[in-house]
Structures are given as C-alpha cells and as structure tokens.
Amino acid sequence: MHDDTDMGTNQLLFEKLNKLRNSSTVIVGIGNTLKGDDGAGSLVCEQLRGKVCAEVIDAGTVPENYIQKIIKKAPQNLLVIDAIDFGATAGTINLFKPEQLDSFVLSTHTLSPRLFVDLVCKEIRVDVYFVGIQPAQIQLGRPLSEQVDVAIQWLADTLIRIFPFKK
C-alpha cells in the first residue's frame, strides 16, 4: 500500500480503516514490549484503552489465549495490530489481508498471528485486517525506535477518530 509515512499515504490508510466506522470491531494488539519495536501492537492498545468504542485486547505474545473471547463477541471486524517486517522504511504502516501474510516471517510470537486468525475464522464469520507497523529493530532489551513511536501515536489517534465513544 505504501512505502513511506508521508501525509498522502497516511490519508489513504485512514480512508481504508475509516470503512470500519460504525461496525462491531475488536482490536487486538500483538507484541512483546521487552523487544523494542516488537511491542508496537501492545503499545497501540495501551493508548486506546478507555478511549474507543471498539473492544480492545492487548494479547501480548499469546493471542491464542483470547480466541474464545473474540468468538463470543462475534464482531463484524477483527483488526490485528502487530510489528511486521514487510521490507519498508521503519515506522511505515500498512494494511494487510490475512492471505498476504504468508510471505512474512512472524516468529516472535508463540502462535503466528495468521494461525491465530485462522482459528477464529473457523468458528465465526469475521472480516480480518492486519495493521502492520514496520519495525526498525526487535532485539531484547532495546527501547522503542523513534520512527515506530511516531507510527504508534498516529495509529492510536486515527483509531480514536474512527471508533469514538458514543455518548
């Protein structure tokens, strides 16, 4: 979808995510905050908690522990946020369908995010979208990179606009 984080490509991403507005959506963040940029999904969820009408689940490194909770909720959409190395500039955000993830190595989690989604989809009908944030580094003990921190802030702000609390 895009290879850099300029305003035009962020606008395109916003328009794609905005199609989920007013729908039943569960947002799942995946990642290990002890491994630098790998924690991106969890950090987005941390920023969203209590600020969006969508259900937010910080699954950490064990998304399989939340399969039954998602199935019981039976949302129209499942938005999975994770650090994904898709060969772009660090901090780039891209939207993927599950079938596009076969070519990416996602070995930092107990269960691959694709397999996690496949297990959910066997039980309920749900549209799945992966929001991948390109990491700069995912080494144990390293801090979050500046590029990914900016991407996390932009994504959290965008999702707050798309899924506002209904008063």
Delimit the domains of the chain by residue range: 7-162
The pLDDT, as a whole number, for residue 156 is 97
pLDDT at site 107: 45
Mean pLDDT per 10-residue interval, the chain, length 167 residues: 52 90 95 94 97 96 94 97 91 90 57 83 95 93 96 97 84
CA 18 to chain centre: 15
Residue-level pLDDT at 1: 37
Q: What is the pLDDT of residue 104?
A: 58
- pLDDT at residue 158, as a whole number: 96
Specify the pLDDT at position 10: 83
Classify strands 127-133 and 93-96 as parallel, antiparallel or unpaired.
antiparallel
What burial letters (b/e) apply to 28-62, b meaning 16+ CB within 10 Å?
bbbbbbebbbbbbbbbbbebbeeebebebbbbbbe
pLDDT at 160: 96
- Assigned CATH topology for domain 7-162: Rossmann fold (3.40.50)
Closest by CA position to 131, among listed 14, 22, 50 = 14
Distance CA 155, CA 47 (A): 10
